[in-house]
């Protein structure tokens, strides 16, 4: 497979192996909640932190979400987003190598990025995780309004690259209430809302499915072009249960589908529903509501809680371990806590203490912003421990 090359690649390929193991030390004055949980906020270089975690957490993380610097040539208050291209590649490569080792066999990693480095990131992630383990490029509408001052295009989206640890990864399905509005219950069916109309024919021609039906009045109902969807024995069972019924004129059959039997839908790669996945302005509003009295500087580029809520809903279940090694303002840890997941967050900057710790204390105490009202929390949820 062709490889992306850059000036410092040979030494960057050795970086993950050569970084020394270090011990994590708890900081009691910053810790909060139940100290016996695995939940951690770690302040420090994420390459060193990941190496320190590797002996204990290799193969244990169900979902990794990272929001690394996009290399936009900008200078933000809390991190440098103006690395030379080679430096950016050298920063990402060894970290991705260690993150891969953290994943469970059925785990996945989600990386947000914009067009400045997206295509280079895709190539090195193909190398690290394997092209066969590329799952999707999710396009997230990150802006709720276009930039009228743009000279060429208003850039209103980010990418989320999704890779799995193995080719057997499956997403959780999502509920889509707007696509189920056709379910009604006019006859007070005890099984609840229903609709008639799902296909009854086989998608492919099969001889054993080509048989006629006899209606109660003796009418013969011929099979459709490819045959029925089920073999005669299964068809008879469905007729007896009432799932399949003859129409009033006894010239055809109808299938009744119940809402209660419906599974969720596979997630789309196009996330444009701002109510479900949020946007950047919403994220900044969440930051303002979370700000402590006297805290004048907000984190520059937070992600909305709804975005993380969607990711964790698709990629994890209650009790799973979540990792974010570019924690930023703490959104991943906050959402993981609210959704009943375990979590490890790593952040190098001082905002690990000035922003993440106060935020998690509020979340542990039951803060009701962000997605709080969308999820059901219990008093027995895991709580956070902060270490540096």
Tokens of 204: 């492919």
The tokens describing 121, both together, are 């990131």
Tokens of 157: 């989206």
CA dist 306 and 370 (Å) reads 7
Spatial strand order of the sheet with 157-164 comes to 270-271, 134-141, 157-164, 103-113, 61-66, 321-324, 342-347, 40-43, 386-387
pLDDT at 140: 96
CA 33 vs. chain centroid, Å, equals 26
End-to-end CA separation in angstroms for the chain? 40
**Helix intervals (H) in 331-373:** 331-338, 351, 357-364
Mean pLDDT, rounded, for 130-156: 93
- 236-264 pLDDT tens trace: 999 998 889 998 899 999 988 887 777 78
Count helices and strands in the chain by DSSP H and E runs: 11, 16
| Pair type for strands 80-81 and 253-258 | unpaired
Residue-wise pLDDT for 332-386, tens only, equals 999 999 999 999 999 998 889 988 999 999 999 988 888 988 885 333 333 333 3
The whole-number pLDDT of residue 370 equals 87
Residue listed under structure tokens 């997206």:
118
Residue 387: per-residue pLDDT: 40
Confidence tier at 293 by pLDDT (50, 70, 90): very low
Using CA atoms, how far apart are residues 88 and 79, in angstroms rounded to an integer? 13
245: left (phi over 0), alpha (psi -120 to 50) or beta: beta
Percent share of the chain, pLDDT over 90: 60
SS3 category, 256: strand
Q: Express each pLDDT in 322-333 by its tens digit.
A: 999 999 989 999
pLDDT of 284 over the 70 cut: yes
pLDDT at residue 292, as a whole number: 53
Residue 384 has what pLDDT? 36
CB < 8 Å & 24+ apart, contacts of 96-100: 96/124, 96/125, 96/128, 96/129, 97/16, 97/128, 98/16, 98/47, 98/50, 98/51, 98/54, 99/50, 99/64, 99/66, 99/323, 99/325, 100/128, 100/129, 100/165
Q: What is the overall mean pLDDT for the chain?
A: 87
DSSP at 290: H
* Cβ within 8 Å of residue 109, ≥6 positions away: 63, 64, 65, 66, 99, 100, 103, 129, 162, 163, 164
pLDDT at 178 over 80: no
- The number of residues making up the chain comes to 388
- For residue 174, the model assigns a pLDDT of 87
The pair phi, psi for residue 369, each rounded to 5°, is -85, -175
The confidence band for 184, taking pLDDT boundaries of 50, 70 and 90, is confident
18, two tokens: 């050569």
In terms of pLDDT, which residue wins out, 72 or 304?
A: 304
Q: Which residue has the higher pLDDT, 170 or 387?
A: 170
Q: Which among 309, 384, 322, 335 is positioned nearest to 99, based on CA atoms?
A: 322
pLDDT at 88 over 50: yes
DSSP string of 179-228, one letter each residue: G-TT-B-TT--TT--EEE----B-SS--GGG---EE-TTS-EE---TT-B
pLDDT of residue 300: 67
Nearest to 172 by CA among 18, 330, 341: 341
pTM: 0.79
Three-state secondary-structure class, residue 122: helix
Which pLDDT belongs to residue 180? 66
Largest CA distance in the chain: 82
pLDDT digits (tens, 9 = 90+) for 5-23: 999 999 999 999 999 999 9
Q: What is the pLDDT of residue 383?
A: 35
pLDDT exceeds 90 at position 182: no
Domains and CATH numbers, the chain: 9-109+123-131+275-387 (3.40.50), 177-261 (no CATH)
Q: Distance between CA 86 and CA 10 in Å, rounded?
A: 12
Percentage of residues in the chain with pLDDT exceeding 70?
89
């Amino acid at each position: 497979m062709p490889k992306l090359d850059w000036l410092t690649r040979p030494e960057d390929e050795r970086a993950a192996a050569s970084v020394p193991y270090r011990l994590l030390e708890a900081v009691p004055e910053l810790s909060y909640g139940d100290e016996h949980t695995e939940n951690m906020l770690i302040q420090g270089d994420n390459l060193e932190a990941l190496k320190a975690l590797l002996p204990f957490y290799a193969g244990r993380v169900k979902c990794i979400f990272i929001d690394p610097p996009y290399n936009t040539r900008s200078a933000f208050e809390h991190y440098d987003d103006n690395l030379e291209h080679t430096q950016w590649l050298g920063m990402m490569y060894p970290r991705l190598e260690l993150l891969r080792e953290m994943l469970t066999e059925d785990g996945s990693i989600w990386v947000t990025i914009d067009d400045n480095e997206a295509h280079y990131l895709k190539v090195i992630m193909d190398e690290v995780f394997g092209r066969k383990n590329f799952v999707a490029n999710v396009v997230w509408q990150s802006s709720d309004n276009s930039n009228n001052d743009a000279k060429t295009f208003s850039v209103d989206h980010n990418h989320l690259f999704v890779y799995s640890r193995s080719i057997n990864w499956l997403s959780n399905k999502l509920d889509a209430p707007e696509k189920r509005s056709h379910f009604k219950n006019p006859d007070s069916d005890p099984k609840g809302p229903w609709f008639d109309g799902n296909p009854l024919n086989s998608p492919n021609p099969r001889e054993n499915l080509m048989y006629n039906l006899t209606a109660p009045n003796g009418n013969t109902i011929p099979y459709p072009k490819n045959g029925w969807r089920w073999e005669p024995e299964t068809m008879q069972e469905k007729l007896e249960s009432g799932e399949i019924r003859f129409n009033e004129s006894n010239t055809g059959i109808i299938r009744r589908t119940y809402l209660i039997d419906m599974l969720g839908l596979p997630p789309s790669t196009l996330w444009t529903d701002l109510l479900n996945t949020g946007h950047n302005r919403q994220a900044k509003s969440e930051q303002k509501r979370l700000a402590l009295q006297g805290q004048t500087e907000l984190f520059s580029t937070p992600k909305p809680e709804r975005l993380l809520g969607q990711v964790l809903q698709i990629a994890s279940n209650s009790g799973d371990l979540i990792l974010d090694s570019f924690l930023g303002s703490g959104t991943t840890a906050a959402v993981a806590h609210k959704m009943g997941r375990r979590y490890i967050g790593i952040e190098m900057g001082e905002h690990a203490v000035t922003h993440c710790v106060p935020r998690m204390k509020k979340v542990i105490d039951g803060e009701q912003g962000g997605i709080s009202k969308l999820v059901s929390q219990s008093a027995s949820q895991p709580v956070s421990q902060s270490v540096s």
